Structure 1
Amino acid sequence: MLCVSIRRIVVTVAALIMLGIAWRYWQDARLRAACSPRDRVTEYSPDGRYVAKYCYFRDTIILRLYGKDNMRLLAERTYRDTSGVLVSLTWTKDSLTYPESDVLKTINLPPSLYDRILTQLP
């Protein structure tokens, strides 16, 4: 009897965690869809191979990296930044650096296979 109760608790907690993850993903997908061309800021890499576009939604920033030749989406980041500081992208030969709160994050150039696969999701 005790084993059945523990199993129910574990299954319920796991289901609630999955529901929370799905809810968060759905909210982010809706936000990404709302990033229209007129809301975007565009920056070009120094070598001209990549284009970065980003949108502001209050404390949320959507950063997208495209290939210059075919404008195919190569990488995407959705993150929250409450600092109020405008996005400042730094291009190097092999990475794109962007501020996420107090930490500098990077997207490798060319983006990894994992990044390219994630761009195929809604």
Structure 2
Amino acid sequence: MQRQTDRQRDRLAAQVFVCTNDRDADYACCADAGGEETLEAVKSWLRDRNAFWNPISVIETGCLGLCSENGTAIAIQPRDEWYSAVRPAEVPDLLESEFGPDAERVGAAYRRRQEASDSDAA
């Protein structure tokens, strides 16, 4: 077992969890509400801003407990922000409100770590 906490903290500023849970039940699930498409929209938005996997990771999850037939559940950590009924077309507005138009608002702590790392390398 290898602890990787410090390495991940240095690399990541946020994690976007996107539910794609599928279930055989009458109850709504994110898979039926566009979960895969929403996941791809999140990844695409971050890739377009050079923020995919560093500094923002995307994690496909099972149920987040915010089931809706109207869209997918998304959680953003460590911000502790939770959204339900997210449609793929709404992803750009959601992520821009969380991270800024160019994903520049990823967190002051992350920016300080990056600046310290950059000055150590110089």
Report the TM-score, using the length of structure 1 for normalisation: 0.27
More strand by share: 1
Higher helix share: 2
Q: Kindly indicate whether structure 1 or structure 2 has the higher relative contact order, using CA contacts under 8 Å at least 6 residues apart.
A: 2
The structure having more radius of gyration, on CA atoms, is 1
TM-score (norm 2): 0.27
